[in-house]
Each structure stands twice: as structure tokens, then as C-alpha cells.
């Protein structure tokens, strides 16, 4: 079977892409609750162990910039199979390694290969029937968010009960299954670009300059992502203090609340076409603003749970509408457009994490809430400047 643009894709393929998106993005976050255990097991400092999290994110950023555009130049099926194969190999290396330098190298390639969800999203955006594009992208986005939020919880539970290597051993099996189902179910698709890799990368910068709507959509979604990450950047410190005095297990439980928010907003994509990207973005910003007001006013578990759920729902509104809007602006260059979107998204997510850390150091949790609120307000200002309905 060969997919054709705007002619539709089978629902079983959408489900497969959603599941693979969840498991592949989870590769980035399994290690976060395991860093202290890894440091003690292989006898390295906490700083050296923490570099595992930094390096895997660095690899992901490199993959977003340099690998995602290749989805327009090469077979997406072969590209996804190659990425899963690399992730499988490097996960195997991680499960056996006792040398931190080898683990750093493996983590870099795990990060690079974990960009598969961002190859799946343009498939739904380019090949779904026009009325189903946002809906199908919404299902994949839900898988992505569930993978991000649930992976920390899963890694923490398995690491505590069975040791950190068990998480990677289980992930070997997961990667094998992803490889098998992609090989069996992923169809052939035509290439979107003819030329060299250098020409391809130059075209990314041309698209960025030529399409202001893509820049605007990417910016407001990136600000929303920065707002969402603000809540997680200092949450462990906040929970450790008064009035909570809670440990990392409570951070994991709040992660499950985030999963609940992502699942609760599943299926909202079908309303994007009806309401428009601008209105949907404004709604997402308002939901995030309400989340931060609740977090700042109600300093309780109930307040935090409500805030975590709402801030994730608000992000879902923003990412789904703006990412689908970007891809529909230029569907024939879906992967290159997605490179612009996700690179901007990632940069502002990192900025939100950094600025919220400064907010914590100056005003504590109030400072974090103000930063999250600021990013959400900036996103809504960008939307109000959008002349397109």
C-alpha cells in the first residue's frame, strides 16, 4: 500500500503511530528518576550521572534539527526503522555498560533516535483526509504526552523495585516490538524533496523566512511548552518543603495526573478545524493561565493536582492546533516545517525551565508561578497579534 496526500490513512496505523510515539519519546525520560541509583551503582559523582539526562536531551535537539528534515528526502519508513534500530542497539549498550563515558555516548544516540514521534506527526498531517488531519494528529500527540509523563513514573517504580538496569532491559523488548510492528504495518510514501541534503537544509531556512504564519504558530506553542515545563522544573523542591514535606514518589504521582490531563483531552483535534487555530490557541493559553492562578493561590495538593492537569490540557490545545496549522500551511514540506516547529518548541521549553529556576531562586514557588503565568500571557499576546482567524 502506498499512501497518497490527503487521501486518508487507516485507523490501525494512527493507533500504531500513537503507541510508537509514546514508547520512543519515553526513551528520553526513563533515566531521570534513576540518576541517583545509577551514580551509586557504577560509582560516579551525581554531576557525572546528571550528564546522562543533559546528553540525551542534547541528542534529541540535534535529531530535531538535522534528522527530521530527512523525512522529506528519504523513505520515512526506512528512516523510522533506522531510528528504532539505533535506539534498540544503544538501549542494549546502556543495560550492560559500567563505564559512564560509554553511557554518555549511548545516551547521545538514544536522544538522536528518539525523534520518531516527530516523523510520525507529519505523516498524519500530510496523508490524513483534510477533515481528519487535526484529529489524527491529536491521537499521536496524546501518545507523545503520555509517553513523556508516564516514563518518569515507570522508570522510578521499576528502578526502585528491580534496579535501574531492569528498566533498560524491559525497553529492549519494547524497542523490538516497535521495530516489528513498524516493519509490518508502515506503508510506503512518496518523497517530498529531490536534491542533496545540503539543499534540503537550506530549504528549511528558506521556509522559515518565507512563511511568517509558521513562525507565529511555532512561537506561541513554544511559549505554552515553556509554561508547562515551568511547573515540573522546581516541583520536587516545592514538594520537599512546607506544607507538603513529600518525596520523589509524590512527583511521580503528579506525573500520573499529567497523564490524566493528556488522556482527558484526547479527541479535541476534531474541533480545531471548526474553531480555527487562533481561537484554539487562545483557549489553551487561558487554560494555562487558570492553572497558574490555581497553583499560586491554593498551596495544597488539590491545587497542585488541578494545576498540573490544566497546564497539560492547555498545552495539548496549543501544540495540536499550532503544529497542525504549521504542517497544513505547507504539507508538501511537512517534515521540514515540523523541524522549524519542534526546534522553536524545544528552545522555548528550555527557556521556560531556565527562567523558572531563576524565579524559584528569587521568590520560591511564587516566582515559578509568575514565570509560568508570564509565558502563558506572552503566548496569548502572540495569538492576539495573529491577523489570521
Give me the CATH number covering residue 384.
1.20.1250.20
More confident residue, 316 or 247: 316
- At residue 27 the predicted structure's pLDDT band, cuts being 50, 70 and 90, is very high
Q: Give the cell for residue 99.
A: 563505564
User: Using CA atoms, how far apart are residues 237 and 252, in angstroms rounded to an integer?
Assistant: 14
On whether both 171 and 223 belong to a single domain, the answer is no
pTM for the structure as a whole? 0.80
> Which pLDDT does position 334 carry in this prediction?
85
Closest CA to 388 of 229, 213, 265: 213
pLDDT of residue 351: 86
Does 175 lie in the same domain as 76?
Answer: yes
pLDDT at 389: 59
Please report the pLDDT score of residue 352 as a whole number: 86
Residue 320 has pLDDT above 90, yes or no: no
**pLDDT at 283 exceeding the cut of 90:** yes
Are 163 and 266 within one domain?
Answer: no
Question: Which residue segment(s) compose the domain that 166 sits in?
Answer: 1-192
Rounded mean pLDDT of the chain? Answer: 86
Over the stretch 49-89, which tens digit does the pLDDT of each residue have? 878 887 888 888 899 889 999 988 888 889 999 999 999 99
The reported pLDDT for the residue numbered 324 is: 86
* Residues counted in the chain: 389
Which of these three, 136, 168, 192, is where a domain ends?
192
114 and 176 together in one domain: yes
Share of the chain above pLDDT 90, in %: 40
Confidence bin at 249 (pLDDT 50/70/90): low
**Measured between alpha carbons, how far is 337 from 205 in angstroms, rounded to an integer?**
10
Do 283 and 174 share a structural domain? no
Do 113 and 151 belong to one domain?
yes
Q: For residues 275 and 284, is the Cβ–Cβ distance under 8 A?
A: no
275 plus 145 within the same structural domain: no
In angstroms, rounded to a whole number, what is the distance separating the alpha carbons of residues 191 and 94? 34
**6-10, 263-267, 358-362: which has the highest mean pLDDT?**
358-362
Percent of the chain with pLDDT over 70: 93
Q: What pLDDT band is residue 181 in, cutting at 50, 70 and 90?
A: very high
Tell me: pLDDT of 265 over 70. no
Same domain, 204 and 247: yes
Q: What is the mean pLDDT of residues 11-22?
A: 90
Q: How far is CA 314 from the centre of its chain?
A: 14
**Which of 192, 216, 250 lies at the terminal end of a domain, its last residue?**
192
- Is there a single domain that holds both residue 60 and residue 32? yes
Structural Rg of the chain based on CA atoms: 20
Which of 140, 158, 192 is the C-terminal boundary of a domain?
Answer: 192
Output DSSP code: residue 188: E
Model pLDDT, residue 92 = 97
| Same domain? 337 vs 384 | yes
Q: What is the pLDDT of residues 128-173, one digit of tens each?
A: 887 787 788 878 888 887 888 788 778 878 887 888 899 999 999 9
Q: Higher-confidence residue: 98 or 229?
A: 98
Per the model's pLDDT, the better-predicted residue between 6 and 207 turns out to be 207
pLDDT mean over 218-227: 94
The Cα-based distances of 263 to 217, 248, 257 in angstroms read 23, 23, 10
Q: Do 53 and 25 belong together in one domain?
A: yes
Total domain count, the chain: 2
| Range name among 31-35, 176-180, 360-364 with the lowest pLDDT average | 31-35
Q: How confident is the model at residue 252 (pLDDT cuts 50, 70, 90)?
A: low
Cite the DSSP H helix spans in the chain: 11-26, 35-42, 46-66, 70-73, 76-96, 100-113, 117-127, 133-162, 164-185, 197-210, 212-233, 235-240, 248-264, 272-275, 277-297, 301-329, 334-363, 365-384
Q: Are residues 168 and 210 in the same domain?
A: no
Q: In this model, does residue 293 exceed pLDDT 90?
A: yes
Q: What is the mean pLDDT of residues 116-125?
A: 86
Amino acid at each position: 500500500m502506498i499512501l497518497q496526500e490527503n487521501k486518508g490513512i487507516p485507523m490501525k496505523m494512527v493507533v500504531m503511530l500513537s503507541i510508537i510515539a509514546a514508547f520512543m519519546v519515553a526513551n528520553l525520560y526513563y533515566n531521570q528518576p534513576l540518576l541517583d541509583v545509577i551514580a551509586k551503582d557504577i560509582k560516579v559523582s551525581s554531576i557525572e550521572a546528571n550528564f546522562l539526562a543533559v546528553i540525551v536531551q542534547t541528542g534529541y535537539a540535534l535529531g530535531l534539527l538535522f534528522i527530521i528534515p530527512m523525512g522529506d528526502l528519504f523513505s520515512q519508513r526506512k528512516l523510522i526503522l533506522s531510528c528504532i534500530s539505533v535506539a534498540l542497539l544503544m538501549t542494549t549498550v546502556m543495560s550492560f555498560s559500567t563505564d559512564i563515558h560509554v553511557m554518555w555516548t549511548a545516551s547521545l544516540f538514544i536522544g538522536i533516535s528518539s525523534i520518531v514521534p516527530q516523523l510520525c506527526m507529519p505523516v498524519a498531517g500530510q496523508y490524513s483526509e483534510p477533515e481528519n488531519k487535526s484529529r489524527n494528529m491529536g491521537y499521536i500527540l496524546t501518545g507523545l504526552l503520555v509517553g513523556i509523563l508516564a516514563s518518569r513514573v515507570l522508570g522510578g517504580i521499576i528502578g526502585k523495585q528491580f534496579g535501574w538496569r531492569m528498566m533498560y532491559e524491559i525497553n529492549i523488548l519494547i524497542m523490538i516490538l516497535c521495530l516489528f510492528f513498524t516493519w509490518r504495518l508502515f506503508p510506503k510514501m512518496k518523497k517530498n524533496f529531490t536534491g542533496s541534503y545540503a539543499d534540503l537544509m537550506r530549504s528549511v531556512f528558506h521556509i522559515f523566512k518565507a512563511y511568517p504564519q509558521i513562525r507565529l504558530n511555532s512561537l506561541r506553542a513554544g511559549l505554552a511548552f515553556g509554561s508547562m515545563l515551568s511547573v515540573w522544573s522546581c516541583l520536587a523542591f516545592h514538594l520537599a518543603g512546607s506544607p507538603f514535606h513529600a518525596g520523589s514518589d509524590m512527583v511521580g504521582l503528579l506525573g500520573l495526573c499529567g497523564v490524566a490531563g493528556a488522556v482527558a483531552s484526547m479527541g479535541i483535534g476534531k474541533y480545531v478545524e471548526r474553531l480555527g487555530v487562533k481561537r484554539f490557541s487562545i483557549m489553551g493559553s487561558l487554560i494555562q493561565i487558570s492553572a497558574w492562578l490555581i497553583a499560586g493561590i491554593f498551596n495544597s495538593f488539590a491545587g497542585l493536582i488541578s494545576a498540573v492537569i490544566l497546564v497539560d490540557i492547555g498545552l495539548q490545545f496549543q501544540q495540536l492546533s499550532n503544529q497542525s496549522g504549521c504542517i497544513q500551511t505547507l504539507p508538501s514540506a511537512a517534515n521540514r516545517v515540523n523541524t522549524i516547529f519542534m526546534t522553536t518548541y524545544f528552545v522555548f521549553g528550555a527557556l521556560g525551565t531556565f527562567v523558572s529556576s531563576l524565579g524559584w531562586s528569587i521568590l520560591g514557588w511564587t516566582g515559578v508561578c509568575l514565570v509560568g503565568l508570564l509565558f502563558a500571557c506572552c503566548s496569548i499576546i502572540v495569538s492576539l497579534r495573529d491577523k489570521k482567524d
